[in-house]
Structure 1
Amino acid sequence: MGRTSELESLVHKVRDTPSLVVIDGEAGVGKSRLVRELATDPALAGMPVLIGHCEQLQEPLPLAPVLDVLSHHADLVRPGDYNPIVGALAPLVPELGDRLPPPPPELADQRAARHRVFRATAELLDRMGPAVLVLEDVHWAESSTFDFLTFLAAHQPAGLCIVLTLRSGGSPLPVRESFARAASGPPLALTLSPLDPAGVGELAGRILGTEVSAGFAATLHERTGGIPFVAEEVLGALHETPLPDDAAQQDDVLTDLAVPTALRDVVLGRLDGVAEGTREVLGVASVLDHPVDVDLIAEVTGLPPAKVVEALVDAITAGLLHEQDGQVRFRHVLAEQIVYDALPTPTRRLLHRTVARAIEDRDGPRPVARLAHHYHRAGDVTRFVRYAEDAADLAVSHGDDAHAARLLVQAMEVGLPTEQRLRLAVKLGRAAVDGLAHEEAVPLLQQLLAGELLPGDVRGELRFALGRLFRQQGLADAGYREIERALPDLADNPDLLARALAILAAPETVTDRPMAVHARRGEEAQDAARRSGAVEVGLAVRIARASLLIEQGDPEGWPLVEALLGDAALPAHPREHARACVNWAQAALHVGHVRRAERLLAEGRRVVAAAEYLRVNDVIELVAAAVDCAAGRWGDLAGRAHELVVRRPGFDAASLDDRLLHGVMLAASGGASEAAAHFTDLVEDAVRVGAVWPLLAGRSALARLLLTLDDVEGSAHQADLAVAAARVKGNWVWAAEPMLCLVDALVAQGRTAQARVHVEELAAGLGAVDAPSARAALLTCRAVVARADGDHAGAVGLLREARAVVVEAGLRQEESRAVERLGEWLAEDGDAEGAALLEDALRGYGARAASNDVARVTRTLRRLGLPVPYPWRGGRRSNGLGLSGREREVALLAARGRTNRQIAADLFLSPRTVESHVRNALRKLDCTSRADLAVRLLDAAEEDRAPVAG
């Protein structure tokens, strides 16, 4: 009832595989009913709908709903030539054992083993398709299932549609955010709302078999809130009660029902109608959580299993339970909760204790998380904390640090002896860093550090953990200072001391510590590592030292990197190896070594794939996008940069870098005002948290943008602030780009003498650095000053040198800027080479769809009286180059680097419609690529004096 449009949208989306659908709404609103309607829709004939259910269980059951789907649909799995990795599912789904490859050798690393299962499951689902995978009640998904869904969305088989149902506001997991990067595009979001009075009236009429009055419908809606399940239960009860013939016309017939607690009344009424033994069995079942466990109920109640089964049949007949997927469950979670709440508190506690002891007495490994849950509800603090700690240790051993952190947080909320509380706090600090449980762990650690008289070693480790959590939250300055405060208390723990000092040696995360301080911390870290003697600690310190040297352009950095890459110890520690490659690649980018960054990133990808170290994947994706930006591979970069920001909507350690890259793409291809506002916000946040690299890069990018907008004063101000920050930091490599912006602005203001002083300061600070971007910037600064002094030949020579540096380094966007500047100078001097160079710059920008840069070069060509080098120049075209209004609108967005999916979202079109408009625009304009499209549209916009960006 009332779901026609939602069902049509769902069917349409499901048929267009690969696709994602998220259905949410409050309990009882009709999510499961909509899925059942989908499964029987004629449009899906021949397309199996595979339904799994997430359970509200305390014991983590990795991938349980997905594995249940595979076991229940074993008939869809045919023996065949599978990837050997699919054999990892054989021990987990015995029903498929005879048709899958043999299990591969066991892995010692549980994270790697879990990743193997993820890959195997995705492969098998691909072979079962085309199909619809439905997971219901995802708000109860444990972390492994959620991680698998994130993985599956990123590696979605072409013939698979994924449909999730979840309770509104009931999921602690960011389901929608995790699907932002899905290859199939953003999910279709269907939010089911309660029925309106008319819908409730129609539902009531169908259930009661008679027309109902508007007053009856209004009263029923008021009492039930329009929730279909509640309304059905109320109407079902009414249907079974003798009523006058005109009851559905009487407004007060529902008056005696306690609505909105009518469902409670119905359930309790049915509960009262069953036998005493049935009520006892239902009470135990509500304590156990569904599905019903006959043997455990028999053990707790002392009843023979046959009597338990008899009671369950009685409950099914009464409508309190039902059979689903071969298991007996409460008809609805609300029914389970009502039965549970009906138990007196002492009875509930006794049952939880009895259930826990029965589980303890069973053979096999103890489900420690489940035991922790029952002892917690039983009020047995001692056993609860013991099992919660054991469950947390088990979760850590399985690589589920997030679940461990949640258990430890829960355990620390009860009153504990100081020694036990501190032990759990130390474990929480370790688990929270890798489990990213910031919101829960940070307040607890702060409270402990503020209010407890802690032993020094414990205080040091807690401060170190808190500092790392702050850093992961993006609070660079707060994290740095907290780790600094931990140092005295870590003096007797060389392992942690060395790691803490290695973090403090990293220069890019704090504004007010000069490079000399970072270097000193690096030396102290080396001393601590020698005292530690641990190979892994020594590696971490050497990795940090190499990063520090690279960031300064120190020529000793790269020999140290090569030595480490050739050291047999590094491959033996794949996590340190992966982190090292990613950190070094990022440092290489900061100084302009693009090709070295590419090599390191490739090495990092290889190590991550071999070690199945999933956590580093997001960082690799960010660094890869930054590498592509510097190397000029901009084909889909605007969309990737936008999606990185969307995927991390909060504030964490990587969010500023995400936003910086997105801002660079906006400045090149988007609206100037939007880009300026974006950079301004970025700078403000970087100042607030004290993150120096995003601050310098953000101010520099903003200064360059303002200069292109002829806001010379604003550009000079931002560049001067960036140079001042780099001066305080003592890293002149980072000062080079903002210094070039400052010199350009000062010369434009006629302040050449002041610019000259700054250039000499930069030259003295840089010395003989191994940093292509800084060397090119210094050469360009000198060229700008030389030209202002009238030495045109000397300026051109210096600029040619700068161009050669960026060409050798692979800095393609910087190469186009150098070529543009050189072409403009030569053209102004009457040299014919200038026009050719400007054309080269135009084509370089056009190849990257850098539409704002294209427009700027086009204006320069016209200002100098030079032709725009395209065969279609000169003629004015009607209706925007022969395009329809919608085609032109879509084409302009495509020219700015927006993907089809983003354009579809912007203009409320389907991706296929956008694809058609882009194809038509390319054909009509005789273009072969979006890059060519960008140049041609922007030139036409210049002719028509129509704004292209902004």
Structure 2
Amino acid sequence: MTNGARPARPPSPAVLRTGSRELIGRDRELRALVDAVAAFPSMTFVEGEAGVGKTRMITELLAGPRERSPWSLVRYCQPLRDPFPYGVVFECLRPCAERLERVREKLSPVVGALRPFLPELADSLPPALPPLEDRAAERHRLFRAVRDLLTALGRIVLVIEDMHWADEGTRQLLRFVLTDPPPGLSLVMTYRREDLPDNAPLGRAFRPPPGITGTHLRLEPLDAEGVRTLVEAILDAPVTPGFADIMRERTAGIPFVVEEATCALRASEERLCADEPTARRLLDIVEVPVLLREAMVERMHALPDDTRAVAQASAVLEVPASVALLSAVAGVDRSRAHVTRLLERAVLVEVTENLYGFRHPLAQRAVYDSLSGPHRQELHLRAVRELTRLDPPPLIRLAAHSRRAGLTAQWLRHSEAAADVAMRAGDAFTAMELLRAAVAEPGIPAGDVDRLAISLCDCALIGLHHREVTAQIEQLLSDPRLSDEARGEVRLCLGRLLIRAAGAMGRGRAEVESAVDALRGRPEHRLRGMAVLCLPYINTGPYADDLVWLERVQAGQDALEPSDLRTELLGATLGSRMLAGDPGAWDRIGMLPTVSEPVGAESLLALARAHCNLADGCVWNGHYARAREFLHSGMDLARRVGASYILGTAEATRARLDWYVGDWEGLAERVERLDRIYADMLWVTSELNLVKGWLATARGDWDRARAAFRATGMDRPDSTLIPVAAAAIGGTVTLLLNRDDTAAACAYADRVAALLRRKGLWAWASEPAGPVVEAYLAVGRHDDAHAFVADLATGLHGFDTPIAQASLIACRARLAQAAGDGAGTARLFDEAIDRFRDLGLPYRTARLTESVAARSADVAGLTELVDMYEELGATSDAARCRHLIRDAGATTPSRRGRRGYGNELSPREREVTRLLANGHTNREIAQAMFLSRRTVEEHVAKVLRKLGVKSRHELRL
């Protein structure tokens, strides 16, 4: 082992790494280090395990203001075999030539003893001294020379990294210097306790003498918030709290490991903000960082053989294990002593009481990957033998070890049993992963493939799945081991999965139609396929065609005895009828089992789907109280069986319901979180984007609203949910009218009118109806407006659609207003307002009330509306009302009274801040908030001043 400057490591040409530019989670420790260095003379120890950020914090210290460290030198101890005593100290002194020239007269003669060790400084040092016969005296003179030289250099900060590798001579020299330190010296030393040979960085305990500041800093791993902040800084994008929690679990919060894992994930071009199971999958397969792998291999080589065997057994077991289990799998005696040594060397940690494992999975995998194939297999065989003896047996672990040990039959048996247990526990993702691995194995017999494939399909249809699952199910269709009967079921599953995916609805419907033909000999499964084809919202064809399928499914379900299949089919047909506004749906709800009746998982699943379907239809049609009831029961049932997909659709329905009834508090944040979780599920994300668009419109963020509406898939109605597309187009018409782009607004109005006429389901016109009529009237297309309202009235006749009926009355009020019918206008607006108020829709009520108040310049009414809009969070609407009040020549009093906000942001300044952070220009902000450009400029200046930023580009939400 020797000391010296650390050689530079060339960057890998294959990997582009970009860590965080900011020091994350170390504010307190950095302040303490800065204070310690400033209180010279001082000595500071910075302790922390490998990768925890010691060097990063030193870099941050030395990058600070010059008064923090006027002259600084950093050198590293090295783990080399032949030590050169005091080498790291001499490396620190070598760059001092220029500084020594200025202090030559201050150097004592004893400093000349350094000439043989520092030939680069010979011209600046006193004459060399004759050698001494006593080696102890020679060493003492050398130590004095180093201290005197440091004293002459004046104010200096020396940083010696990796003191755990320092030779004994260096430790003695530093103890000597620190016993009577130079007055201008601040010495910082970093080390890893687990690698110290004597459990003390200076070889033995050292207490600083009076007058010298002594500081000990221990850097701990980052907490979950620190990990999240670090990951976001590297990616320059937000991640979910759940993803950050999993990242911390996988990396133990060690910054280096977090950075390496994040960069590896980024290189994989996968979504990093997905649901938690997907996040776990990604972090399970990410490549172990090269530097971490090298560090673990080096540490393992330094261990005695039996101790290393215990660590390798832990790597094979993967999960924390007892000393006895580690001993049995490793095949060694005295394993308690070996585990103790591994704990001391920080190879293993006590994860929970009496259970030991690696600090984080990447370290475990680094050791596992270093094992040879035969050795790995032998350890897995031992693991199978030992785990089989446990009661109950750990099925998932047994499946994994059996597979890696080459025990195919046992692996298949344990995998199916584990998948069954996981499904009963509501963990469809784990079941999917087990079954995916099994069905992909080429050696599995044909009879087993049928069973495994159908089980995989069942899991995929109720849980959250990633794209690879759909791709694997599609590949199964060409697997020669699959029987024709099973192939029809697999094709039906594939079609249902594709219908849920963005851009694949048409293809999915075609697969379902093909499956229905293929399943003629299996009527129960054929009914399931027909129940998909009767859904009216997955195609733009006439509702009359959907009714044909609906009647066929209903006839089939009515012929069935009470069963899970009958409940499943009822859920589909009732949901379709409710969504269409068919009043007959209410009469058939009693055919469903009560919530207390089902006992099996399939029964609960079928009833959960039925209740959530009914909730969705109730929200679209305006039965909000019943929607809340169905949502509550449906989501509770879905949670009980772990039906993640059904929960996702229910969450989207709940978000839409909360928008309608005015429960906007935290809604935007919730929708963003859900959008990340269910990112690949069209039926969920399309509705979430619709709510995003509505919220952004109410807040005046029109560019974001337009993008959200487009993200619903409204421009491709055949590839998205029809009622969502219709509502999104209606929202887009409103946006275009707000921007006075009436030509474009009418173009979209024509599109949605054509869509509704082609589909023939006017129950879905509640959102676009008003904007369509407004657009037509704005350009003088009165005949088109009247024709649309007439078709709407005809289409709603005989249907149970309270919100669409209220929208129809509002449209008639607009027509009366355009015709100059004052009495009719007032009567119809009052009736529409009463309808929306009775439905419990505060925003729709306020918008219609505003139309009346604006027409009559009712300042008192507009003032009340300002308060209503602000209570909801509709800041753009509130700003528009203030503008109308100003136009009427009145002031706009605040609901809470005028007050000074000091350095805090006022409500209006907060809104300006939000729009600024989203990239809006002053002109766009003025338009959204109905303010003058000059007023917006004043608000922007105040925001920047109060937040202490120099430009709008530094603002972040």
Pair in the same fold by TM > 0.5: yes
Find the aligned partners of 1:845 and 1:313 in 2 and give their Cα distance.
65
1:878-934 CA distance string (max 9 Å, x none): xxx8555x644x5226558x9xxx899989xxxxxxxxxxxxxxxxxxxxxxxxxx9
Label 1:297 to 1:516 Cα distance change in 2 as closer, same or farther (>3 A): same
What secondary structure is seen at the aligned counterpart in 1 of 2:576? helix
Find the aligned partners of 1:459 and 1:385 in 2 and give their Cα distance.
21
In structure 2, what is the equivalent of residue 850 of structure 1? 874
In structure 2, what is the equivalent of residue 502 of structure 1? 531
The Cα shift of 1:426 comes to 1.5
1:464-519 CA distance string (max 9 Å, x none): 222333344444444333323221233344443333333333322x1323322322
Instruction: Trace 1:389-468 onto structure 2 (pairs within 5 A).
Output: 389-416=416-443, 417-452=445-480, 454-468=482-496
Structure 2 gap segments, 5+ residues each: 1-5, 7-19, 31-48, 58-221, 229-239, 278-287, 920-924, 941-951, 953-957
Aligned length: 698
In structure 2, what is the equivalent of residue 763 of structure 1? 793
**TM-score for the superposition, normalised by structure 2:** 0.62
Is the Cα–Cα contact under 8 Å of residues 422 and 430 in structure 2 kept in the other structure?
yes
Instruction: Trace 1:494-893 onto structure 2 (pairs within 5 A).
Output: 494-508=523-537, 510-561=538-589, 564=592, 569=597, 573-604=603-634, 618-645=648-675, 647-649=677-679, 651-683=681-713, 687=717, 689-826=719-856, 837-863=861-887, 865=888, 867=890, 870=893, 883=901, 887-888=904-905, 891-892=907-908
1:830-887 CA distance string (max 9 Å, x none): xxxx555545544433332312222333444455x363563899x9x9xxx8555x64
Is the Cα–Cα contact under 8 Å of residues 571 and 577 in structure 1 kept in the other structure?
no
What secondary structure is seen at the aligned counterpart in 1 of 2:768? helix
User: 2:48 aligned with 1:30, yes or no?
Assistant: no
Find the aligned partners of 2:758 and 2:939 in 1 and give their Cα distance.
40
Find the aligned partners of 1:753 and 1:761 in 2 and give their Cα distance.
12
Is the Cα–Cα contact under 8 Å of residues 893 and 903 in structure 1 kept in the other structure?
no
Please tell me the residue identity of whatever aligns with 2:297.
Answer: R
Find the aligned partners of 1:493 and 1:893 in 2 and give their Cα distance.
65
Label 1:359 to 1:603 Cα distance change in 2 as closer, same or farther (>3 A): closer
Is the Cα–Cα contact under 8 Å of residues 428 and 462 in structure 2 kept in the other structure?
yes
Q: Which moved more, 1:607-616 or 1:593-602?
A: 607-616
The Cα shift of 1:666 comes to 0.7
Find the aligned partners of 1:763 and 1:564 in 2 and give their Cα distance.
32
What secondary structure is seen at the aligned counterpart in 1 of 2:495? helix
Label 1:266 to 1:298 Cα distance change in 2 as closer, same or farther (>3 A): closer
Label 1:767 to 1:288 Cα distance change in 2 as closer, same or farther (>3 A): closer
Find the aligned partners of 1:626 and 1:796 in 2 and give their Cα distance.
30
The Cα shift of 1:654 comes to 0.9
Instruction: Trace 1:174-213 onto structure 2 (pairs within 5 A).
Output: none
Label 1:797 to 1:283 Cα distance change in 2 as closer, same or farther (>3 A): closer
Label 1:574 to 1:948 Cα distance change in 2 as closer, same or farther (>3 A): farther
Please tell me the residue identity of whatever aligns with 1:845.
Answer: Y
Please tell me the residue identity of whatever aligns with 2:568.
Answer: A
The Cα shift of 1:746 comes to 1.6
In structure 1, what is the equivalent of residue 26 of structure 2? 8
Find the aligned partners of 2:489 and 2:329 in 1 and give their Cα distance.
44
The Cα shift of 1:707 comes to 1.2
User: 2:387 aligned with 1:364, yes or no?
Assistant: no
What secondary structure is seen at the aligned counterpart in 2 of 1:653? helix
Is the Cα–Cα contact under 8 Å of residues 323 and 336 in structure 2 kept in the other structure?
yes
Find the aligned partners of 1:491 and 1:714 in 2 and give their Cα distance.
49
1:795-817 CA distance string (max 9 Å, x none): 33333332232222222222222
1:605-657 CA distance string (max 9 Å, x none): 67678889777555544433322321233344444444444554555431111
Find the aligned partners of 1:639 and 1:871 in 2 and give their Cα distance.
27
Is the Cα–Cα contact under 8 Å of residues 941 and 947 in structure 1 kept in the other structure?
no
In structure 2, what is the equivalent of residue 249 of structure 1? none
What secondary structure is seen at the aligned counterpart in 1 of 2:664? coil
Label 1:646 to 1:397 Cα distance change in 2 as closer, same or farther (>3 A): closer
In structure 2, what is the equivalent of residue 378 of structure 1? 405
Is the Cα–Cα contact under 8 Å of residues 498 and 537 in structure 1 kept in the other structure?
no
The Cα shift of 1:462 comes to 0.7
Is the Cα–Cα contact under 8 Å of residues 449 and 482 in structure 2 kept in the other structure?
no
Is the Cα–Cα contact under 8 Å of residues 359 and 366 in structure 1 kept in the other structure?
yes
Is the Cα–Cα contact under 8 Å of residues 285 and 292 in structure 1 kept in the other structure?
yes
Is the Cα–Cα contact under 8 Å of residues 645 and 662 in structure 1 kept in the other structure?
no
Find the aligned partners of 1:872 and 1:288 in 2 and give their Cα distance.
64
Find the aligned partners of 1:359 and 1:891 in 2 and give their Cα distance.
62
Is the Cα–Cα contact under 8 Å of residues 786 and 792 in structure 1 kept in the other structure?
yes
Find the aligned partners of 1:328 and 1:646 in 2 and give their Cα distance.
35
Instruction: Trace 1:111-122 onto structure 2 (pairs within 5 A).
Output: none
Is the Cα–Cα contact under 8 Å of residues 495 and 529 in structure 1 kept in the other structure?
no
Is the Cα–Cα contact under 8 Å of residues 477 and 691 in structure 1 kept in the other structure?
no
The Cα shift of 1:410 comes to 1.8
1:55-102 CA distance string (max 9 Å, x none): xxxxxxxxxxxxxxxxxxxxxxxxxxxxxxxxxxxxxxxxxxxxxxxx
Find the aligned partners of 2:834 and 2:591 in 1 and give their Cα distance.
29
Structure 1 gap segments, 5+ residues each: 13-26, 36-131, 139-147, 155-161, 181-193, 195-223, 231-259, 828-833, 908-933
User: 2:415 aligned with 1:388, yes or no?
Assistant: yes
Please tell me the residue identity of whatever aligns with 2:517.
Answer: P
> Please, which of 472, 478, 491 is the counterpart of residue 520 of structure 2?
491
Is the Cα–Cα contact under 8 Å of residues 714 and 724 in structure 2 kept in the other structure?
no
The Cα shift of 1:523 comes to 2.1
In structure 2, what is the equivalent of residue 267 of structure 1? 300
Is the Cα–Cα contact under 8 Å of residues 686 and 713 in structure 2 kept in the other structure?
no
The Cα shift of 1:716 comes to 1.0
Find the aligned partners of 1:497 and 1:824 in 2 and give their Cα distance.
57
The Cα shift of 1:712 comes to 1.0
1:750-800 CA distance string (max 9 Å, x none): 121232222222222222332122222222333333333343333333333
User: 2:481 aligned with 1:481, yes or no?
Assistant: no
Report which of the two structures shows the higher radius of gyration computed on alpha carbons.
Answer: 2
In structure 1, what is the equivalent of residue 160 of structure 2? none
Instruction: Trace 1:251-266 onto structure 2 (pairs within 5 A).
Output: 261=294, 264-265=297-298
**TM-score for the superposition, normalised by structure 1:** 0.63
Is the Cα–Cα contact under 8 Å of residues 745 and 775 in structure 2 kept in the other structure?
yes
Is the Cα–Cα contact under 8 Å of residues 401 and 434 in structure 1 kept in the other structure?
yes
CA RMSD of aligned residues (A): 5.0
Please tell me the residue identity of whatever aligns with 1:550.
Answer: M
What secondary structure is seen at the aligned counterpart in 2 of 1:654? helix
Instruction: Trace 1:143-162 onto structure 2 (pairs within 5 A).
Output: none
The Cα shift of 1:443 comes to 1.4
Is the Cα–Cα contact under 8 Å of residues 539 and 576 in structure 1 kept in the other structure?
yes
Is the Cα–Cα contact under 8 Å of residues 730 and 767 in structure 2 kept in the other structure?
yes
Please tell me the residue identity of whatever aligns with 1:460.
Answer: G
